[in-house]
């Protein structure tokens, strides 16, 4: 076969290969094998030295022509294959924009947190400060300063977890009263504070008891504070929490740190006071304890009870939420069952 015939045959076979190749990688291999330095065309051009001077330019021109032709075919096929690849990836990556979107699961504030913030807002609006106390407290502040000396029988109702004889988990938020009173500068005016937080008792957990729960303490100390101020303040709180049509009733009670002491009842929000299963047919539901700060409690905090008087109250956040939403088992608050929590879901951004 003459050189020209060889080149002609190469052109035919390579053109067929180019036409039938189906991916860019193989096409590139063809290009390298045919047109590359070690390929047949380069070899043919090198072999021209054996030709006669007349044949050389003719064969040379022919070889160049074939190289150009094949290069062109490769480029054309390359463009085709590139479009084909793009179409394939477009097809495999396409999305159906009419499908429903994936739901993003968002969290929300716990119902006890919502309750606390609502109550805080009511009191902030009346000029109270919010004070944080210690969950690990001393016997001194938790009991002694609240007028519960050692061996006082009222300590029985508030047994707790002891860290040492003197250090314990607080049984109520009342110690924050003493801690705040002794620091307050009365020359700048009276004291109005609430203090929310966790409290602990040696109780066996059941539907209405928990060894750990939440209270909000309230305390006002100033000149001329009377029981009328206490009643008026609690009326604002109860109406905001349970509805404007509610009324409250104060019943005599006993706490060592208040004198007189009262239990505060709200008129039943289910039956309006007629009597039903929620209010146990009394028309009233007990919501919190309160009273006028005992003179000895003021005195122990360095306040002269002849000049100053005050009122205090303590409420259970769980109790308020249970009454408001008809929750019948306190353990629901702590089990983190989404079926429970989601019933109280609100936007986590305040004010939205």
- Report if residue 290 touches ligand PHE, rule: CB under 6 A: yes
Task: Give yes or no for a contact between 314 and 173, defined as CB atoms under 8 angstroms apart.
Answer: yes
Beta bridge partners of 212: 200
User: First and final CA of the chain: distance in angstroms?
Assistant: 89
- Report if residue 314 touches ligand PHE, rule: CB under 6 A: yes
Rounded distance, CA 16 to CA 34, Å?
13
- Report if residue 174 touches ligand PHE, rule: CB under 6 A: yes
Candidates 34, 160, 258, 267: give the one binding ligand PHE (CB under 6 A): 258
The CB-nearest residue to ligand PHE is 314
**Residue 230 Cβ, how far from ligand PHE at the closest point, in Å?**
10
Question: Which residue, 21 or 312, is less far from ligand PHE as judged by CB?
Answer: 312
Burial bucket for residue 337 (CB in 10 Å: 0-12, 13-18, 19+): exposed
- Report if residue 317 touches ligand PHE, rule: CB under 6 A: no
- What is the DSSP annotation of 134-152? -SEEEHHHHTGGGT--TT-
Question: Which residue, 133 or 289, is less far from ligand PHE as judged by CB?
Answer: 289
Candidates 35, 168, 220, 312: give the one binding ligand PHE (CB under 6 A): 312
Task: Give yes or no for a contact between 69 and 11, defined as CB atoms under 8 angstroms apart.
Answer: yes
Fill in the DSSP letter of residue 162: B
Rounded distance, CA 320 to CA 301, Å?
30
Interface with ligand PHE by CB under 6 A: which range of 31-39, 181-189, 284-292, 302-310? 284-292
Interface with ligand PHE by CB under 6 A: which range of 71-79, 112-120, 283-291, 337-345? 283-291
119: number of CA atoms within 13 Å, CB side?
29
Fill in the DSSP letter of residue 100: P
**Residue 316 Cβ, how far from ligand PHE at the closest point, in Å?**
8
Candidates 287, 289, 301, 330: give the one binding ligand PHE (CB under 6 A): 289
| Token pair of 176 as six digits | 């924050």
Binding mask 152-171 for ligand PHE (x = CB under 6 A): --------------------
Question: Which residue, 158 or 332, is less far from ligand PHE as judged by CB?
Answer: 158
Question: Which residue, 197 or 289, is less far from ligand PHE as judged by CB?
Answer: 289
Interface with ligand PHE by CB under 6 A: which range of 12-20, 75-83, 240-248, 285-293? 285-293
- CA-to-CA dists, residue 210 to 159, 195, 207, 332, 334, angstroms: 13, 20, 8, 11, 10
Candidates 123, 308, 313, 333: give the one binding ligand PHE (CB under 6 A): 313
Interface with ligand PHE by CB under 6 A: which range of 11-19, 92-100, 232-240, 309-317? 309-317
Fill in the DSSP letter of residue 182: T
Candidates 67, 77, 116, 172: give the one binding ligand PHE (CB under 6 A): 172
Rounded distance, CA 243 to CA 124, Å?
19
Burial bucket for residue 153 (CB in 10 Å: 0-12, 13-18, 19+): exposed
Which positions from 186 through 245 interact with ligand PHE, judged by CB under 6 A?
A: none
Task: Give yes or no for a contact between 144 and 206, defined as CB atoms under 8 angstroms apart.
Answer: no
Question: Which residue, 258 or 267, is less far from ligand PHE as judged by CB?
Answer: 258
What residues make contact with ligand PHE under the rule CB under 6 A?
172, 174, 255, 258, 289-291, 312-314
């Amino acid at each position: 076969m003459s050189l020209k015939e060889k080149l002609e045959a190469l052109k035919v076979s390579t053109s067929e290969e180019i036409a039938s190749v189906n991916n860019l990688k193989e096409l590139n291999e063809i290009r390298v094998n045919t047109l590359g330095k070690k390929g047949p065309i380069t070899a043919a051009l090198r072999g021209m030295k054996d030709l006669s001077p007349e044949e050389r330019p003719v064969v040379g021109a022919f070889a160049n022509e074939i190289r150009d032709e094949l290069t062109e075919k490769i480029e054309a096929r390359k463009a085709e294959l590139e479009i084909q690849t793009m179409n394939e990836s477009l097809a495999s990556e396409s999305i159906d924009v009419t499908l429903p979107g994936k739901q993003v699961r968002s969290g929300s504030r716990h119902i006890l947190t919502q309750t606390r913030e609502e109550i805080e807002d009511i009191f902030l609006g009346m000029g109270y400060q919010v004070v944080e106390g210690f969950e690990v407290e001393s016997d001194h502040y938790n009991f002694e300063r609240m007028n519960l000396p050692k061996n006082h029988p009222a300590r029985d109702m508030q047994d707790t977890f002891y860290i040492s004889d003197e250090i314990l988990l607080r049984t109520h938020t009342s110690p924050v009263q003493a801690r705040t009173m002794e620091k307050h500068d009365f020359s700048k005016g009276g004291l109005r504070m609430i203090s929310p937080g966790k409290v602990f008792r040696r109780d066996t957990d059941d539907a209405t008891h928990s060894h750990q729960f939440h209270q909000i303490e309230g305390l006002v100390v100033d000149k001329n504070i009377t029981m009328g101020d206490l009643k008026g303040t609690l009326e604002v709180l109860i109406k905001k929490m349970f509805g404007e049509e509610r009324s409250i009733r104060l019943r005599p009670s006993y706490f060592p740190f208040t004198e007189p002491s009262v239990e505060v009842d709200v008129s039943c929000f289910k039956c309006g006071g007629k009597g039903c299963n929620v209010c146990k047919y009394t028309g009233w539901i007990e919501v919190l304890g309160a009273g006028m700060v005992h003179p000895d409690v003021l005195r122990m905090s360095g306040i002269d009870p002849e000049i100053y008087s005050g009122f205090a109250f303590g409420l259970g956040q769980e109790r308020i939420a249970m009454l408001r939403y008809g929750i019948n088992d306190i353990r629901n608050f702590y089990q983190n069952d989404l079926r429970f929590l989601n019933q109280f879901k609100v936007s986590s951004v305040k004010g939205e």
